[in-house]
Amino acid sequence: MGFNQAGEQRPVRPLIVLLSVLLLSLLMPGVQANLNQSNDGGELFLSCIQDDECLLTSSAIGEEIISDSIFASPAQPDTITLEFEMDPQQKELALLPSLLTSMVIDLRFTGEVSGANKPELEVSLLLGSTVTTWNFDSEIIPLGGVSNPYVLENQELNLNGERLLWPGETVRLRLTFVLDRPGTWELYLRGASSLDLDIPWSEDINSRNTDEPSSDLEPQSTDFETIHYGALLENDRDCWAFEVMEHELLNIYLEWESVPIEIQQSHGLPDLIQPTGRLSKAPDIVVKESDDSTRITYRWRALPVGEYTFCIGGTAGKFQPYVWTGQLAYESLGPLSQNEFDGKAFYPAGTALLGDEDEAVSLSKSGFGLLFISFLLLIGFVVDSLRNSTSYLLRFGVFAPGVLFLLIGGIFHPMWVLGEEVQTESEIQFDDLLQMRLQQLWDVSYPGVPEQVLATHLGATWGMLDGDSLQLRLEVEEAQPLPDGRWQLILPELQDLRLDQEIFSQVARGGVQTTDEGMLKEQTIRFILFAGRALLLDMLMLEAMMVVEEAPKSSIFHVDFDMVTAPASGSVSVPAWATRPASVNVNDWVLLQSSLFPRQISVSLCDCDLDLLDVSFIESPAFDVNDIPPQINVENAAGLIIYSSPVALLGLFLCAFASRTEYQRRKKARALADTFFRKSSKWD
């Protein structure tokens, strides 16, 4: 039943309802509700064929209004429940978003005595095995006022890590409201009530799984050097049989299409079964990962001729399309040559810098020189001031302000700066941040870690999850002025950062390097690819965010970011920048993401004689100073006042002037006294 009232059900005419639904389906072929990535693929309308037959459809159809009169009272309230189930059912595998884009429910109630009002409403959205519930309070509509719909925008969905919606799973909207007075409720449909989900990815898995049927016992016969399309659906085994002729090198190129990380297959080593029935030895491997695909090249040398079977296996709960082809060749450099790798994978420092290099200023830490000199001078002036003085104006009008200025500018300010430059217990340095990020990626790359956990940690900016706090102490040697008056800091650690050295060092610290055949283990390969991409994006964002409002006075800076959840950037297969500093609002963060994210990222690993890594990308041409957020919590160890040196010099001048004037006064007094005493001695 579409709804019930106080447990009663209206008579149902099954045949008429069935014919109505069938007729509408025939007349409106576009009404195919399905959550997918296509345009408006996540927009669903609340539609009712009849009052008791309600559906979620991709087009606004059916009745314009459904309503009913009730005779409730506070002693006997009526509970009305309306359910809208998506029809037809979900037919694609879809990745659900973390946010509900919008929802509009145009529900109205007119009491016989109380007039128009909005009843208390509970809305539940069922997506697969998850339920998200929102509650609206009741609202009295003033006489002559307009009853506005219930509206939700950008509301977080309670998915509990279950972001995948598989074909045939439930999509249902439930409305529940309680009425305690007589009157008439109305639900406006035909486009007036709807919900919208921005589906980031979807796939018709049945249409992509073109390689079936195949298995170890019944491999598909094929020509080795043709292109093969297929998909691994869950724990399938896809196998092909082919003839191998004379060769020196046998290459298999396997390219996996980019899919959400939650459903990626493991990309384990495939089986190449020889004519004798034995597995071939482990091949040389090159893995190249980009935003669109992961391409793996397998190379075997000097295999015997005959009929071979090539098999790749999947994992339950996973799905990923692929394409592969083979090549028989003779020895040459080929695609696995180490000459393809330059042997060094540097972070491309300066990619996110927008300042004027010619106007850059050098920064240094505060020293003890000014503090020491000011302290000695102050002692000298104070000792000199202990002598009796007959000029209160000179003492309190010149000397006292001079001492105050010298204290503030020459002593208190340097001491404050030195205190600010000290690293606090809660702060870390750049190297600590780098090692913590690598250790985090290593930990979540282990087999058996839930893919949602992996996606959450991999996508976290600098490895900081929602609720974490990044407190970082940085020592900066140079700052460049930006066109808008702000200053961008140049981090010296990024200038010669070797991503490959840092990543392979973590592999060594992890204690898992190679298999018995000398090949890197699957978990290690997975970590290397993830870490290459994650570090590149983390450092790119860090470089772009190092901006301060005023010209720096010291080389020491403190970063204090309280991290919160943000919409992820990048591809669905490898999310990025899914957390943001709380000081940066969502709109500014999304603008920064879209303008800064590289046009293309490629991470290549050669698992050959020498393990080599290449990390390259094409930077975004759209990033400019207007994309840098206005509020960034990066603080300089600037001390108490801005112009400390001039203040200290002013204090020194006033104290020196007072001391000099006092000295001249004393000198004249002595001379006068000498003259007076000489004259007195003559009379004697």
CATH code of the domain containing 147? 2.60.120
From residue 220, alpha-carbon distances to 178, 214, 268, 328, 575 in Å are 61, 6, 21, 20, 36
Q: Give the type of residue at 496.
A: D
What tokens does 109 get? 């109630």
Q: Which domain holds residue 564?
A: 427-636
Give yes or no: residues 321 and 297 share one domain: yes
The residue from 336, 363, 380 where one domain ends is 336
Are 201 and 95 within 8 A, CB to CB? yes
Its pTM stands at: 0.74
Within a domain: residue 415? no
Give yes or no: residues 170 and 279 share one domain: no
Give yes or no: residues 316 and 432 share one domain: no
Within a domain: residue 440? yes
Mean pLDDT by 10 residues, the chain (684 residues): 41 42 41 70 88 88 91 88 92 90 93 81 95 92 80 90 89 93 92 92 85 76 92 90 92 93 88 94 89 91 93 91 92 60 80 90 65 57 56 60 62 60 81 95 86 90 94 91 93 91 88 55 84 94 93 86 90 88 92 92 81 86 92 75 62 62 64 66 51
Rounded to whole angstroms, the Cα distance separating 240 from 270 reads 12
Within a domain: residue 361? no
What pLDDT score does 6 carry? Answer: 39
What pLDDT score does 617 carry? Answer: 84
CA dihedral in degrees (221, 222, 228, 234; nearest 10)? 20
The residue from 203, 231, 266 where one domain ends is 203
Q: Give the type of residue at 526.
A: R
What pLDDT score does 30 carry? Answer: 43
Give yes or no: residues 149 and 171 share one domain: yes
The residue from 274, 308, 336 where one domain ends is 336
Within a domain: residue 662? no
Give yes or no: residues 499 and 560 share one domain: yes
Rounded to whole angstroms, the Cα distance separating 684 from 676 reads 13
Within a domain: residue 654? no
Domain count within the chain: 3
What pLDDT score does 24 carry? Answer: 43
Give yes or no: residues 145 and 236 share one domain: no
Within a domain: residue 222? yes
Give yes or no: residues 212 and 143 share one domain: no
* Helix 430-444, helix 499-510: angle, nearest 10: 60
Give yes or no: residues 30 and 148 share one domain: yes
Give yes or no: residues 150 and 185 share one domain: yes
What pLDDT score does 386 carry? Answer: 54
Within a domain: residue 409? no
Give yes or no: residues 149 and 187 share one domain: yes
CATH code of the domain containing 288? 2.60.120.380
What pLDDT score does 18 carry? Answer: 40
Give yes or no: residues 232 and 171 share one domain: no
Rounded to whole angstroms, the Cα distance separating 258 from 274 reads 31
Within a domain: residue 376? no
At 542 the three-state DSSP class reads helix
Rounded to whole angstroms, the Cα distance separating 214 from 194 reads 44
Give yes or no: residues 460 and 526 share one domain: yes
